[in-house]
Structure 1
Amino acid sequence: MLIFPEVCEKEELAELEAMVEPIERFFDNLDSTSIDREAKIPADVLDVMKSLGLFGLQIPEEYGGLNLNATKYARIAEVTGRDGALSVTLAAHQSIGLKGILIAGTKEQQEKYLPRLATGEQLAAFCLTEPSSGSDAASIQTSATLSVDQKHYTLNGSKIWISNGGLADVFTVFAKTPVKTDLGTIENKITAFIVERGFGGVTNGPPEDKLGIRGSNTCELHFDNTPVPVENVLGEVGGGFKVAMNILNSGRFSMGTSCAGALRKLLGQTMEHAMTRKQFAKEIIEFELIRQKFAKMAVSIYAMESMSYMTAGIIDSYQKPDASLEAAIVKIYSSENTWLIVSECLQILGGLGYMKDYPYERYLRDARILPIFEGTNEILRMYISLTGIDSASSYYKDVVSKLNSPMKNFLFVGKLLRERYQEKNSKKSTWLLYEHVHPILQGVVDKQVHLARLTDVVIDLYGMTAVLSRASRSLAIGLPHNEHEKFLAQAFCYEAGRRLKLNLDELTLYEDKTSDNADELYRHIGDEMVKEKGYFATSCLQRNW
């Protein structure tokens, strides 16, 4: 039986909902339209956010924070996600800005910085992206050179698209530093630093004029001979890449509940419109096609909630868990389906959804950043599939090792031979990743289309696990609307099963050039477009005279 994580006792949930109530009131009365139009969060709004403890949700109580676990943090994100600008400001501060101090900081660093960050007296920002490096973090050019007396580093370089960059007082900055290797050579490796604006030499450009999340502050940051004390190295010298990945991996899981919270509100507003707007002498909600749109949107929201809370439960249930794979799955599914759902809502709203006098078009603009930031979905797809393949290859190595010593592992060998015999004599053979070196694994990193398909298989499998587990729990303990949840879970699994079959067919038929696979055609078209530097099909009006 699938078990959905249970990490909060009854009293804890009551306390959590008591905490959520004033936050919901605040967001229900928030003037998000003005924040979007003015492209700035007013000071009085930030003050209320501070008073609600929103800047210290996961900071330990000893430093003035609320010390929420991942599940409780995900619940708060449901509410803060209703305003994209505020949600990003908070996430930039605590999910990535100060997270390095939490997970890699020394006791002294935590005591020095966390108390003022917990109250919002100081804001934090995460500084990784540069003009020449985005997803390729290893290519950063910002440098940090150790002084002759070895008491401080001198930081030089620029970072771009830094959320909270113009507001923050404390920055987690990544820079290249010369590091002596075990062989005695010197290599430039990435190191993470805690940098204060007050150190000097820290300046920022004007706020970027963005498509969406306009109220959040995003700008360039420049470090000009900024002195950083050696005690402000975060983690180990040369270990900054690992710190950066741990920070990013630890924060993605809450995107599912953040998106779901915003979508619940938008879907409710859209349904209210559909129940009052009349066309052809009846409300548009009465049309079967419209009702199906709402049903499909509900299924996607249910799935992103289920995956997000399952991942949060995994994080809370284990000591030092590695849920980076699950968090990446949540991020991809939630970001892509949020974009689709918002688009469908605007379709139902019609012309109303397109007008700036109403809030709906803002949801669309805010949603577009989701597949891009905190790791682009393309990069995360590669990460998920390659992580799975790496795990499978480790298993395969273990199999080979045992086969080389059959007398010591005769039970294992016997089981393996029996399974192979059954497979050979069955009408329908099975294909397991760890039993065959599939053609797509040759030069696997370059087979990105196939890796993406493999990732989509994993996403659907995790989604099916999450919704079935959640719905089973609801049915077992008799939660309200459990029958409705059953339908939501069944609908998701039906659609996911269809996608799984298609993707697995595409993967297993890769070598069959007669199969219905357009990959080679698209590859050829893409290659030709690169040569011609764009679209170059002849005009429909052109003739050979």
Structure 2
Amino acid sequence: MIRVSKVLALAPKGLNKFIVTHTRCQATKAAANTVKTEKSEKKSTAKESQSFTMNIFRGHLQASQIFPYPEPLSEEQNETLKMLVDPIEKFFEEINDPVKNDENGSIDEKTLEALWSLGAFGLQVPQEYGGLGLNNTMYARCVDIVGYNDLGVGITLGAHQSIGFKGILLVGTPEQKEKYLPRVCDGKFAAFCLTEPSCGSDAGAIRSKAIKSKDGSHYVLNGSKIWISNGGLAEIMTVFAQVPITDPETGKTQDKVTAFIVERAFGGVSNGPPEKKMGIKCSNTAEVYFEDVKIPAENVLGGEGQGFKVAMNILNNGRFGMAAAMSGTQRYCIKKAVDHATQRIQFGKTIDNYGTIQEKIARMCILHYVTESLAYMISGNMDKGSQDYHLEAAISKCFGSESAWWVCDEAIQILGGMGYMKDTGLERVLRDLRIFRIFEGTNDILRLFVALTGIQYAGSHLKELQKAFRNPTANLGLIVEEAAKRATRAVGLSSPPNFIHLVHPSLADSATLCAKSIESFGQAIENSLIKYNKTIVDEQFVLNRLAQAAIDTYTMAAVLSRATLSASKNLPSAQHEILMAQTWCTEASSRVAYNLKVVQSGKHLDVFTKLSKISKNVCEAGDVIQLNPLGY
């Protein structure tokens, strides 16, 4: 049995250097965020999160943002959205030409004008500023359509509003909103400028600098940014730069990242030629240069020295949109594959009759169902006022981008040689998709973000127990409750979290699998904290497996919730959705069990050690080590 005292003795006293990295469009991007030890016991009590994913790191079920599946649209909003969907689909059918966009490496003026006329560049800007005023769920539906049709156009739109001017929308002053939001809805492109040659996932390495004038009226910005989406088009930019800030108490001056609203019209702003890319070729990507750019002091966005916070807020807020876009792309690939499979005859049958093709199509459809479920669950929760969605949004980005890549690849495989041909359209989609696992947070970094954020939350609970033991009389209930949990778990008498009552009866067994995964996951996190303490931040082999287990557990809950809603409404697709949810939970729960076994197995940890050594050997040699079998 694990003794409470042992847990408390070995628990980390706060993961003092906890790296949280995120990235922006067109490249890995990030901010290193330090989670500081609280200054007083009063402050050390962690805020209780409503996040499902955050809570599974404690082995707890927090169902408030899972069940019931969100339905945030009013009747009026539904009607508004339906009126918008038809024109957007008509635009892609009659005006936009994705093949031409790809070949030309740009979107022609006629197409851009049609997008501006549709209001597509100001979907979430309040109507008072000239936008359409859509909420997150309505926005997700529009992005879904764009993802189905042309990811290059999607990046042009997303770089503009999902990150380009999103900071103004989220944290801008009333004056900033009044000045800039009407302009970004009426022909002025926006861009998000964070990445530099010296920093990708380490945004702390930013070298662009803005010096405040002696009279405090303006800043002078110098520096450069790379891989900026809309960089050659943007007239209004959200730019991040180091600003020397003096602490009034200590008198010490330190550079801190600050966000600015920068206009090309300020002077000193220029850009390089469009980058030549693998995919999303029609989206403009360029280096942007700032030379003695004079920025008015009132254009500081979110407060001086608050740049990291602003950047993270922007990126976290927009990630669900990527899942929505990836959902649309998967649907496009599935349609291509199904059309071919139901018409292509081999050995006397259409190939959809063969088990190999059936498995491919079924798995493609399940991945699409999960991705779609994540996109609308997260956007729906945001629309209901949730502030605890950051881990779920990161998961949706990772899951959606990886699923879309796999679905497109399998669609090409089903089409065979035809799928490899340019005219089929899938090779363009595959090229376009590759960037989505990189930008707005590389999936590798986001997995670490999910794992470390959750572990920090779990560790804070152990600190609460430490505090309780300082005054056991006053906190006897907490101590006894925790001891009882551990004792029953140690002798196998504890029962996992139970939410069978929340799902459709046909999904009861699947809900049990998910609940067991939550319990096992919480125990694995605790064991990892005991074993590694604060050095857990360096155990990336372990962290990646924990993150994958978290992803599988959250996706199980999401599809259980959505399928339950469909069944309760008796939708025509309900039984089909139940089949997909059951299948996903069976396989996802098995992956969870395997990954949790791996992180606690000496045999597998030894494999991690060997992998590390292999990598180091090769990197030291600068090439593979072994000779060709012929010896030369």
TM-score range, shorter-chain basis?
A: over 0.9
Give the superposition deviation at 1:134. 1.1
Question: Do structure 1's residue 525 and structure 2's residue 614 form an aligned pair?
Answer: yes
User: Compared with structure 1, are the counterparts of its residues 154 and 436 closer, same or farther at alpha carbon in structure 2 (3 Å cutoff)?
Assistant: closer
Judge conservation of contact 1:253–1:331 (CA < 8 Å) in 2: yes
Judge conservation of contact 2:210–2:222 (CA < 8 Å) in 1: yes
Judge conservation of contact 2:459–2:529 (CA < 8 Å) in 1: no
Judge conservation of contact 2:344–2:351 (CA < 8 Å) in 1: yes
Question: Do structure 1's residue 28 and structure 2's residue 93 form an aligned pair?
Answer: yes
Q: Identify unmatched segments of 5+ residues in structure 1.
A: none
Give the superposition deviation at 1:435. 7.4
Give the superposition deviation at 1:328. 0.4
Following superposition of structure 1 onto structure 2, how do residues 59-458 of structure 1 map, counting pairs within 5 Å? Answer: 59-81=125-147, 82-119=149-186, 121-181=187-247, 182-318=249-385, 321-426=387-492, 431=523, 433-434=525-526, 437-458=529-550
Map of 1:472 onto structure 2: 564
User: Compared with structure 1, are the counterparts of its residues 515 and 449 closer, same or farther at alpha carbon in structure 2 (3 Å cutoff)?
Assistant: closer
Judge conservation of contact 2:221–2:295 (CA < 8 Å) in 1: yes
Summarize deviations over 1:487-508 as a string: whole Å, max 9, x none.
Answer: 1111111111111011100112
CA distance in 1, matches of 2:229, 2:163: 10
Summarize deviations over 1:268-303 as a string: whole Å, max 9, x none.
Answer: 122111221222232222211001100000000000
Summarize deviations over 1:358-402 as a string: whole Å, max 9, x none.
Answer: 311001000000010001111111111110011111111112222
Judge conservation of contact 2:333–2:407 (CA < 8 Å) in 1: no
Of 63, 68, 90, the match for 1:3: 68
Give the superposition deviation at 1:432. 5.6
Give the superposition deviation at 1:241. 1.1
Following superposition of structure 1 onto structure 2, how do residues 508-523 of structure 1 map, counting pairs within 5 Å? Answer: 508-509=600-601, 512=602, 514-515=603-604, 518-523=607-612
CA distance in 1, matches of 2:376, 2:483: 40
User: Compared with structure 1, are the counterparts of its residues 405 and 116 closer, same or farther at alpha carbon in structure 2 (3 Å cutoff)?
Assistant: same
Equivalenced residues, count: 538
Letter of the 1:21 partner, please give it.
D
Compare 289-298 and 412-421 and name the one that shifted more. Answer: 412-421
CA distance in 2, matches of 1:427, 1:525: 43
Letter of the 1:397 partner, please give it.
K
User: Compared with structure 1, are the counterparts of its residues 168 and 515 closer, same or farther at alpha carbon in structure 2 (3 Å cutoff)?
Assistant: closer
For the residue of structure 1 that corresponds to 2:70, the secondary structure is coil
Give the superposition deviation at 1:11. 3.5
Judge conservation of contact 1:440–1:450 (CA < 8 Å) in 2: no
Q: TM-score, normalised by structure 2?
A: 0.83
Please report the RMSD computed on the Cα atoms of aligned residues, expressed in angstroms: 1.7
Give the superposition deviation at 1:21. 1.0
For the residue of structure 2 that corresponds to 1:443, the secondary structure is helix
Letter of the 1:101 partner, please give it.
I
CA distance in 1, matches of 2:366, 2:177: 42
Where relative contact order (Cα < 8 A, 6+ residues apart) is larger, the structure is: 2
User: Compared with structure 1, are the counterparts of its residues 22 and 171 closer, same or farther at alpha carbon in structure 2 (3 Å cutoff)?
Assistant: same
Give the superposition deviation at 1:8. 1.0
Judge conservation of contact 1:178–1:187 (CA < 8 Å) in 2: yes
Question: Do structure 1's residue 500 and structure 2's residue 592 form an aligned pair?
Answer: yes
Judge conservation of contact 2:258–2:307 (CA < 8 Å) in 1: yes
Q: Identify unmatched segments of 5+ residues in structure 2.
A: 1-62, 495-518
For the residue of structure 2 that corresponds to 1:50, the secondary structure is helix
Of 581, 598, 611, the match for 1:489: 581
Q: TM-score, normalised by structure 1?
A: 0.95
Letter of the 1:32 partner, please give it.
P
Give the superposition deviation at 1:465. 0.9
Letter of the 1:398 partner, please give it.
E
Summarize deviations over 1:8-40 as a string: whole Å, max 9, x none.
Answer: 123322321221111011113331000000000
Of 22, 42, 59, the match for 2:108: 42
Compare 60-69 and 397-406 and name the one that shifted more. Answer: 397-406
Letter of the 1:116 partner, please give it.
R
Map of 2:630 onto structure 1: 541
CA distance in 1, matches of 2:469, 2:355: 59
Give the superposition deviation at 1:107. 0.7
Letter of the 1:333 partner, please give it.
F
Summarize deviations over 1:454-491 as a string: whole Å, max 9, x none.
Answer: 11111111101110000001001111210000011111
User: Compared with structure 1, are the counterparts of its residues 515 and 381 closer, same or farther at alpha carbon in structure 2 (3 Å cutoff)?
Assistant: closer
For the residue of structure 1 that corresponds to 2:262, the secondary structure is strand
Judge conservation of contact 2:599–2:605 (CA < 8 Å) in 1: no
Judge conservation of contact 1:57–1:67 (CA < 8 Å) in 2: yes
